[in-house]
Amino acid sequence: MKKKLVIILTSIIVFILAGCTEADTVSENLSKSADSFKVQRRVVFFNGITDKYLLSVEGLCAINVDDAKKITVTCKVDDEKYKKHYLGLSDNVSYFVEQTDAKYEDQFHYKVLFRPEQIIPDIELQTSK
């Protein structure tokens, strides 16, 4: 049974990786590194009519576009400290994200990140007296 499972999993991984280009794998790895606060970024919001910058956020930042009108920028500011910014978009306000430092990513290694806190929730134990 274990042998069949290993063969099936290996086949699935080979099938997935065979359909990916080098650029796809590196792009995915960069995105995962950025979401793990390992990539320096600059996020700039600008008015498309006046060409003026409205806001700039720089640092180890992860980006989440909630819908067409809202973006969340979460930045790591210290070992265990983070800041989260919610920004609204409109017809004339847009943004771009720039990676400010080059980062090495292996085109032959595909990253899969498991976050234990997502799998096993933080449980508080309360003792009774």
Range of the domain at 29: 2-101
The answer as to whether 106 is a domain residue is no
The answer as to whether 118 is a domain residue is no
Burial of 68 (0-12, 13-18, 19+ CB in 10 A): exposed
Dist. CA 64–CA 92, nearest whole Å = 20
Using the predicted structure, report yes or no on whether residue 120 has a pLDDT greater than 90: no
Closest by Cα among 128, 32, 51 to 93: 51
The answer as to whether 17 is a domain residue is yes
The answer as to whether 126 is a domain residue is no
pLDDT, tens only, 7-24? 776 766 655 555 677 778
Can you tell me the mean pLDDT for 19-42?
Answer: 83
Residue ranges of E strands in 1-129: 40-47, 53-67, 70-78, 81-88, 93-99
pTM: 0.63
Number of domains present in the structure of the chain: 1
pLDDT, tens only, 61-107? 999 988 778 999 999 999 889 999 999 888 898 888 888 887 776 66
The answer as to whether 128 is a domain residue is no
The answer as to whether 75 is a domain residue is yes
The answer as to whether 117 is a domain residue is no
The answer as to whether 36 is a domain residue is yes
